[in-house]
Structure 1
């Protein structure tokens, strides 16, 4: 049995050294032939390895060709979905590619506007950041990598946009691609929200009580106004005492004091979360059947309100 190995590319053809091992079983023989080829050569999709064998019992030689597309290692693509995006968000899109060989991966990002079938390639710019990808060798000898695309939501003015991650590799006949995110421009900044007033449900005559009310996604100038309506009385408002200052006239009313207890940055850019408190000393004559409300008023004078009723007073 004659056997030979040859490497072929668009520019050259070379013979490859091989090692044979022959064994026999009765009147027949088995021949095993091995050759080693640098994996880098398979980065060229036109590169092929050809093995040819001939035996006196055969009418003529036979052969088989092997290219990178015949190898068992092909890229697998997994995209990370993002369900909602708000104005001002810093958005990171990721596309993970695994199980490919050789290390010759190309990842491209495209955008498709709503109502259009045209794919426009995205390149790294002030609007989009696309860092270079680097491959990692895995235990089974294949490679994996993660491609990133980041942008700031406020940079996009289109009514809708779709992002596509496209993967090219010599082992693929056609590129792989996956849609990462599609959003519509209805994902505006979240409106502020107000939590229920919380505090002790049972009050005792002469013992100080503090009630709390929290709000989220507020602008810097959002105000908290507490409104107290004592039994049979007229409602009156209590404004918050500025932090670190003594209680001033007009900020308290008949022993009620409101404070801004906490102000923190929200998880949305340029918005705040805060908690306001109202402290007073209850009495049976004034606070039986009292109604206390907290009204949150944003910079546009829109407001939301929660009400609290004491269950018991002794």
Structure 2
């Protein structure tokens, strides 16, 4: 069978090879998400005869999945698209990735009596999260600020401080510390001096990491206040009982007024209103003028059932070791000392949204003062939207019987369902092409596989190209994948 054009040569090589194997390596994937380790094979005389075929995926000397007379998965998180094996798709789907999943995988295909083996390197990445505990700085005084950066992988990271877009000198960043889930955390500190006439400080913690498409920046505005001056009470020598009575009454009234001015107050719960499946979200609630011993409790109300989100112990922001929330539903609390023994408490919960588990949920943050069984303050966070952006595989083309070529593409882990897709091909102005699509299993969100069939002769034109375009409510604009005879290296936007 002769196939014109360089594109088909690159996609499934020449017909003189009885078995060809193609992989995409290296690949990067996000911690906690699903990934597709791409491996495709082409036989000399299609269609594929399953009685001659055996596929084996292995990792670090351990067999993950094997296809022979039946599909055997030795790793519960590993699976393969069984109907698509006949189209030469031996790709492995791996769910709920962990740090330990990073490394080199082996895809081995036996089409008796011929065999091929290729390796795929998978790099795991986790995006950093940032918390800047709120403080009460004094005008004209030095203030030590801390930026906690956590949940990132790999270890390499750069953290700096900005003021009005300019880098602040004198900042320092701790060495990365490893958390239980394998991710890392660092603490960056900087000391700033406000002017006597400044009303506020506008600063930013600037983070650069390989998992980010661009720098991550956390902004903070600190409202300055006057440092409270100590009030000296002159000792009065009195001899009249009436003066003592009036003095006592005055002190009682003053203390009552001071308590009213410095009673516990809570901010609204702050957090994004649009959440992405599998990407951690931070909710932050701040309590001001909290007495020592104040407790914070987060709960999750879902379908009438309220569950507690377990907190980490309270951490003083002056401590050298930061305490950071783990991914999932976990709370982290930080305190900053105020005057008169009060503290400002920053309480954050890190939520990794999942389909069905977090839709329609109400998160509540409650503050309890010491030895009090009553709720002193309570705030709610609700009416947020959960979405999942479709993750596209490359377009793959394999020859069929006769004079046809089947091209396929997968869109993975999108949410909600309603995705609109279109295939087009041609030279110059592209024309729509009939296609099919069907759902494939996914650990989170929805996934589809779409295929179209194109006449083989079209590939003889060097200007011929194929494009897949899709739109979804989670996307700001249309996205596409494209391959052509003159540019078989794949073009795309927004991916």
Which protein shows a greater Rg? 1
Structure with more of its chain in strand, by fraction: 1
TM-score computed with the length of structure 2 as normaliser: 0.28
TM-score computed with the length of structure 1 as normaliser: 0.42
